Structure 1
Amino acid sequence: MKKFNIAAALAVLSAPAFADGHAATQGDAAAGAEQFNRQCVACHVVADASGEVLAGRNARTGPNLFDLAGSQLGSAEGFRYGDAIVELGETGAVWTEESFVGYVQDPTGWLRETLDDRRARGKMAYQVRQEDQAYDLYAYLATFAAE
């Protein structure tokens, strides 16, 4: 029981802090906006529940990234995900800053390591090369949260 209490306390303390409806991040949202407009708009859009495009173009190759922070992996409505990310999402895994940064830098590698399955594959072919850019992207996307 003591181990469970310690684990629960650590989980609560390590969870992202939320202020003003946005996840606390170590990235720079303004720099993330620039990165999104250079790297992500070809495949992704950020559109709210009413369909209003808040960022990007109306791209459909990748999922809508609205309300990404804290959402279950592989759960954006209307997108057909690969089996590995759906499997991971079904375990209750959510997009945290750490999971997002790991995933966008090496989607297939991150899924294989996280699932401990050398056959796991990610559908996203693009990789963000610099870790600081991945943090910036997460900071930017975390600003688009459902109220």
Structure 2
Amino acid sequence: MIPLFRTCLIIAVLCVAGFAQARQMGDVEKGAVVFNQCKSCHQIGEGAKNSVGPQLNGIFGRPAGSEPGASYSKSMLRAGDDGLIWTEKTLDAYIENPRALVSKTRMSFRGIADKSKRRDLLAYLRSFSDDPANIPEAEPTATATDHELDPTILAIQGDPEYGEYLASECTTCHQSDGSNAGIPGIIGWPVDDFVVAMHAYKRELRPHPVMQMMAGRLSDEEIASIAAYFKDLD
């Protein structure tokens, strides 16, 4: 039998640890203020309905593009079909830069660069999902890892000729004329968008397993070169 004082000590330690984790994950009240940036398109809380964007109750653990009655872009529906699930990690990446995960999302929001504001917003959103007390110990609300792309990677000047050589694998699936026949076209993408998207696959933020494998085999310079080639391809 565990002595009473030892039991109390264990409970106290667990409570302190849980409180510290909750603080680390963000401030719900501050997150409510940050959510003001989202209110023009999204509703949350009691009576929330789909508006310009889907209602956000229960967003954690929800497959992308799956809220009944909501209007989604083809890109968002495709992301859901590929297996994108809204977790602490993927939501953090999406809120920072929506196009990092869904290239042609309808969401015109530019993103939130401030990591602390994103943490607060996610804590607020999480409070409307199931079992918020269980986080951040397990999915779908596990603590995010740092996913920010090093600016030096975006600054790499790719060689379009080398990119043309590397792109032969890309055009086995993507159409070189830019058409979109079940697979998104990538002709004329801005270089930064292309590089961000490829590194999102490389870090397994975007869920498509084939693209994760392809991106994982490419160096930063090779990704920049492919981006440079497709940007100016007619």
- TM-score band, normalised by shorter chain: 0.5 to 0.7
* Identity value in percent: 29
The number of aligned residues is: 110
Aligned to 1:67: 58
Show CA shifts across 1:13-49 (max 9, x none).
Answer: xxxxxx9xxx99722222111111x21111110155x
Pick aligned residue for 1:124 from 85, 91, 107 = 107
Equivalent-residue separation in structure 2 for 1:100 and 1:45 (angstroms):
16
Superposed displacement of residue 107, structure 1: 0.9
Equivalent-residue separation in structure 1 for 2:104 and 2:77 (angstroms):
11
Structure with higher RCO (Cα < 8 A, 6+ apart): 1
Task: From the two aligned structures, give the one with the greater strand fraction.
Answer: 1
Show CA shifts across 1:49-108 (max 9, x none).
Answer: xxx24xxxx671111001001111111111111112211211332111111111112112
Aligned to 1:31: 30
Show CA shifts across 1:112-133 (max 9, x none).
Answer: xxxxxxxx31111112232221
Contact in 2 for aligned 1:27/1:137 (Cα 8 Å): yes
* TM-score of the two chains, using structure 1 as the length reference: 0.64
Q: Give unmatched runs, 5+ long, in structure 1.
A: 1-18, 112-119
Amino acid at match of 2:25: Q
Q: Give unmatched runs, 5+ long, in structure 2.
A: 1-17, 132-234
Aligned to 1:140: 124
Greater Rg by CA: 2
Q: Which runs of 4+ in 1 moved over 2 A?
A: none
Superposed displacement of residue 146, structure 1: 4.9
Map 1:28-107 to 2 at 5 A.
Answer: 28-36=27-35, 38-47=36-45, 52-53=47-48, 60-107=51-98
Task: From the two aligned structures, give the one with the greater helix fraction.
Answer: 2
Amino acid at match of 2:82: T
